[in-house]
Structure 1
Amino acid sequence: MTILGCFLNIRGLPLKLKTWLGIYQFSIEAHFKSHTFSSSTQKTLLSAEEGGKEENELIFSATTILKEHRSKSRWNYLKASCPQGFNPQQVSQIIINLRNKPHLALAFFYWSAKQKQNSYKHNLLSYCTIIHILARSRLKNHVRSLILKAMVEEQSLSLSPEGPSLSISELGNLLGTLIRTYRSCDSCPLVFDLLIEGHLRAKKVDCAAEIVRLLVPRGLHPSIGILNTLLRLVSQSKGSNEGLSFFKEIFGNETRFRAGSCPNIQTFNTLILALYREGKLERENLLFDEMSKMDCKPNTFSYNVLIAAYCEKRKLEEAVELWDGMLERGLTPDIVAYNTLIGGYCDIGDINHAEAMYREMTINGISPTCLTYEHLIHGHCKSGSADEALLLYKDMCRHHFEPNGSTINEIVGLLCIERRTQDALEFQREIVRKYGVRDRESYDLLINGLCAEGKVEEALAVQAEMVCRGFGPNIQTYRAFIDGYAKLGDANKAEKLRKEMLDIGLVLDDP
């Protein structure tokens, strides 16, 4: 009996009605035979339907085994239920069914790949599915590891033609598949943060930036933290102009921000720092003003960067104005702010204002750092106060700070200028005893100072020590000794040194 016959069963009906229905049953069956599928097509559909039913039963059975059986027995039962293994589409669906048991889903993902009888390998669909399931459970370390593997193997991974239609467009394989499986896996935006982070760790800044450009128009917004990190790396690798362009592209121009991507103070501080490193003070000011217009209040770091920019340009009046503005906003200057302004005053030789800032800092309970002492020593050396510089050095040592090479050289140089070479020699020996040798500059300064005072023999002793430390004589060394012997009236030794210098290929600039 045909399908229609099932519905037109005329037994038990009156004779006339049976006759009428029988005539029309024949005509309707003829009509359907001429307009419906061929028998081969019907067989194909039935086969596909049966195949889909079998696959659903397999997926349901595997999910049940994984959820219900104990950990020691589930894998044997699973292997027995599907001896031929699971293909990536089946793996993906089973993982989705296990989305509330992420650790079990991950164990199944790895188990399915290790089965020798399994002719299938994981593809991007199965990788992205497990990545989503783990991301929605905030298992970040596992996600990072799988993303890295997927990135490495992306060229060899592909979507199986047996699975659903998931064609990869201009988005790229991994990103495109993550986007397309996002909803079905009930995922969260964290997955894209970790994808961008993976590209940044692989030093693929351009790829990470392109991912953001593709995500934002689709309403998928990375967190502001990952955007700030990317903005910093773009600015470092390509310059502040590229950083500003990326900022406008992602956040919009002026006050027009795209929903879900609002810049915060860290965003602006990243750009301000990038501009500062390139010496673009004017653009820093514009961005600083724009930040205030956008109701994003600058913090102490924002002021510190701009104050440092003005101090480096020796514009201390503008730096002080910013300092006052920071106080008016109720912000408390930190040690970086004090060191910056103290260093600015010392650079221009205004040691009085620098000392006043130092006193204010200590009164406010902020302890000086090594940099504080180095700035003040530099200021006193610039002002010609060697004794004050030495006192600061001793105070620095009491606080267990170690002076850098430039600080040592400034003190030695000033003592030699003041013709206090004996003090300079004692200071140098103390430094060598405490901290070892930093560079040759302090030796050169000592030799010049001693020779200028006619103490050539002592200078020779310093030069011998210098050679023992691995610093051979250079043209400055010969010039100092030639001038020293000339001042002593020993023309023979001076001439002998000239010939020796020429023999080793050194030539004085002046005769």
Structure 2
Amino acid sequence: MAGVNGLVQISVIIVPSKDVPCMGLLLRSSGPALILSAFHRFHVRWLLGKNPIREHHLRTTYIQDHILRMVHTNASTAEIAIRDLLRRDGNWDSLSADLDSVELTDSLIDEVLLELTDPIDAKRALSFFHWSARQKNSGHGVRSYCIMVQILVQARMLEHARALMESVIRKNADAGSSKFMVVDSLLSTYTSTQSGPFLFDFLIQTYAKLRMFDMAFDVCRYLEEHGFSSSLISFNTLIHVVQKSDRNSFVWKIYEYMIERRTYPNAITVQTMISSLCKEGTLKKFVDILDRIHGKRCAPAVIVNTSLVYRIFEDERIEEGIMLLKRILQKNMILDDIAYSLIVHGHCRTGNFESARESYDDMLKRGYHANSFLYTLFIGLHCKEGKIEEAKRLMEEMLLDGLKPYDETYDFLIVGCSKTGRLDDGLIFFDKMLGGGFLPSYLACNEMMNKLCEVGHVEKANSILTVLLDKGFLPNEATYSHLIDGYGKEGNAQEVIKLYHEMEFKGPTPGVMAYTSLIRSMCHCGKVKEAEKFLTAMEDRSLTPSMHIYDWLITSHCENGNVGRAVSLYNEMIKGELKPDAHILAVLAERINDAVGICKQGVRIR
């Protein structure tokens, strides 16, 4: 009926659901009766003083409008009601009973959480998050997790936030879902949860601590594409955990990206990068490079940045390296003479002598001096091009400038002289190298050994190895293989066997390369039985003989008239799925008169 002062008089009858399960609550007014859900029954209880069985006359316009809105906006009312209950520290059992007919959908849960984004509501939101999961009897969706995480991060409840973040990351890591589903969900709810940039630092750090390094880095770059830059703390965390995992190349990839994005290192970053250099065993290398360029020890940050640029140039990414070098120069993170020297190195690395010379001349015009690092670069370029006289001239000029050559300088000259057949010059540089307290690289040593053995100076090569061994040089398999081949060509089977025993006793352990040289040399010396012993030893070490090894053995047996054994080796080769070449077939055919003879020996020519 009509109330006083023009207000509508509303009669509300709240009926327990066990008595009227299909209706729940009746709202009577001057119009037809309206049916409300069980949820609305529970909400109106609050308005009526929480007494479920009595009749009230609500005579205020506010209450009338509020109840009518409940009828037409069920979802919105649910969010507000649950939020209010949580803020009043309501009883969960009461909430469960009153919401028995309301479906807790993902969208409803998300909207309730979004009503509780204020940090003071964070604990209530977390309670609702866990309660609703139990009510649903199923896990929450990614969006619900992400909203909850953002609420907790904003409230600095980081332990709870990390637990949920790790949970949702793990659930979606192997679910075949989109790679960036979690970060996309965080981005989509970033504004509505009133989050801050720390959220994404928290995400990257969580990935890092889960040892999902690649994903952490991918997310970092993905966020950059969406306008969110990672903080230095996040980069430091990621670099630290990756460095601990011994993925040193990945450490440098992250550091390079960090500099590209204009996030510059602090003392913690530099310390971690120095640890990475120590782990990969290259710290001394870069300290030595800087000593040769700058003439004195440099700060750790300069060592790290020199290493970064050097690696980029070694990958022949010249333009990228120069761009990054300019950036760190602007921040005084590297010295000018070092930067110029690295640019010259980059051009030399790609064989661009003209650009290298231009950069070098520009450096001199700006008042910087040449250094042993640069001289060695140009000597190396000339040696690679076979211009030994030019390389020797630069060596003399370097000495006149008071600069000292080092191991790499001599290596370039020894290799260049050896390849061009100037063995006398190569030996002179070798003697000077040893006199300077340096040992040759494997490349320089083996190149010289090979050329000496090729021209018949195997004794000289052997004496050089003896000297090197006395100075602590550790020869590799190739070093011994060159000497074995040299003695084999001379027919000196005794020295060949002696070198084999030396390898077995002192190392390195013979591999395919050494056994190939041993068998070839024994065959050349006419010692086929000894050659077959090496074949057996090779197979005992699970090393697979090559077609060339069978070629030498078959040829040697045929030359000695042992065609049966030659055929047996041929069949063994076929069994090993090695395809004989024309030479093997010709040698066998020469020793066997006709096709009938071939069949009798069991040869299958194909």
2:294 aligned residue: none
Following superposition, the deviation at residue 441 of structure 1 comes to: 1.6
Structure 1 residue 153 corresponds to structure 2 residue 176: no
1:203 aligned residue: 253
How many Å separate the matches in 1 of 2:257 and 2:237? 10
**TM-superposition CA deviations, 1:299-324 (whole Å, max 9, x none):** 21222222223222322122122212
How many Å separate the matches in 1 of 2:575 and 2:373? 57
1:303 aligned residue: 375
Following superposition, the deviation at residue 484 of structure 1 comes to: 0.5
Distance change >3 Å, CA 347–CA 507, structure 1 → 2: same
**TM-superposition CA deviations, 1:184-239 (whole Å, max 9, x none):** xxxxxxx9x98998899473356323333999xxxxxxx76665455335445671
How many Å separate the matches in 2 of 1:327 and 1:194? 44
Moved more, 341-350 or 382-391: 341-350
Distance change >3 Å, CA 202–CA 262, structure 1 → 2: closer
1:239 aligned residue: 317
User: Would you say the 8 A contact 2:313–2:345 is kept in 1?
Assistant: no
What secondary structure, in the 3-state scheme, does the structure 2 residue paired with 1:342 have? helix
Structure 1 residue 356 corresponds to structure 2 residue 425: no
AA aligned opposite 1:212: R
Q: Which runs of 5+ in 1 are unaligned?
A: 1-83, 86-116, 124-148, 158-167, 179-190, 216-222, 252-257
Aligned length in residues: 336
How many Å separate the matches in 2 of 1:210 and 1:343? 38
Following superposition, the deviation at residue 483 of structure 1 comes to: 0.3
User: Would you say the 8 A contact 1:482–1:498 is kept in 2?
Assistant: yes
**534, 541, 546: which one pairs with 1:462?**
534
AA aligned opposite 2:318: S
How many Å separate the matches in 1 of 2:514 and 2:445? 19
Following superposition, the deviation at residue 429 of structure 1 comes to: 1.7
Alignment of 1:237-276 (within 5 A): 239-247=317-325, 263-276=335-348
Following superposition, the deviation at residue 263 of structure 1 comes to: 4.6
**TM-superposition CA deviations, 1:338-386 (whole Å, max 9, x none):** 23322322232212112222334455x5354565755543442243200
How many Å separate the matches in 1 of 2:420 and 2:524? 29
Structure 1 residue 366 corresponds to structure 2 residue 444: no
AA aligned opposite 1:121: R
What secondary structure, in the 3-state scheme, does the structure 1 residue paired with 2:253 have? coil
AA aligned opposite 1:482: I
What secondary structure, in the 3-state scheme, does the structure 1 residue paired with 2:262 have? helix
Structure 1 residue 444 corresponds to structure 2 residue 444: no
Alignment of 1:373-392 (within 5 A): 374=446, 376-392=448-464
AA aligned opposite 1:232: Y
What secondary structure, in the 3-state scheme, does the structure 1 residue paired with 2:553 have? helix
Distance change >3 Å, CA 481–CA 232, structure 1 → 2: closer
**247, 258, 262: which one pairs with 1:212?**
262
What secondary structure, in the 3-state scheme, does the structure 2 residue paired with 1:212 have? coil
Structure 1 residue 482 corresponds to structure 2 residue 554: yes
TM-score (norm 2): 0.47
**TM-superposition CA deviations, 1:444-498 (whole Å, max 9, x none):** 1221222234322121122122222322333222211110111112333323332
AA aligned opposite 1:480: W
TM-score (norm 1): 0.55
Distance change >3 Å, CA 355–CA 490, structure 1 → 2: same
Following superposition, the deviation at residue 331 of structure 1 comes to: 0.9
**402, 405, 408: which one pairs with 1:330?**
402
What secondary structure, in the 3-state scheme, does the structure 2 residue paired with 1:322 have? helix
**TM-superposition CA deviations, 1:39-64 (whole Å, max 9, x none):** xxxxxxxxxxxxxxxxxxxxxxxxxx
Distance change >3 Å, CA 325–CA 457, structure 1 → 2: same
User: Would you say the 8 A contact 1:443–1:466 is kept in 2?
Assistant: yes
How many Å separate the matches in 2 of 1:449 and 1:398? 27
Structure 1 residue 416 corresponds to structure 2 residue 488: yes
How many Å separate the matches in 2 of 1:238 and 1:373? 27
2:471 aligned residue: 399
Following superposition, the deviation at residue 289 of structure 1 comes to: 2.4
How many Å separate the matches in 2 of 1:203 and 1:173? 17
Moved more, 393-402 or 197-206: 197-206
Q: Which runs of 5+ in 2 are unaligned?
A: 1-118, 121-151, 159-197, 207-223, 243-249, 266-300, 586-606
**TM-superposition CA deviations, 1:113-137 (whole Å, max 9, x none):** xxxx9984299xxxxxxxxxxxxxx
Distance change >3 Å, CA 373–CA 444, structure 1 → 2: closer
Following superposition, the deviation at residue 171 of structure 1 comes to: 8.0
**TM-superposition CA deviations, 1:220-270 (whole Å, max 9, x none):** xxx76665455335445671232234445776xxxxxx6968852322333
CA RMSD of aligned residues (A): 4.3
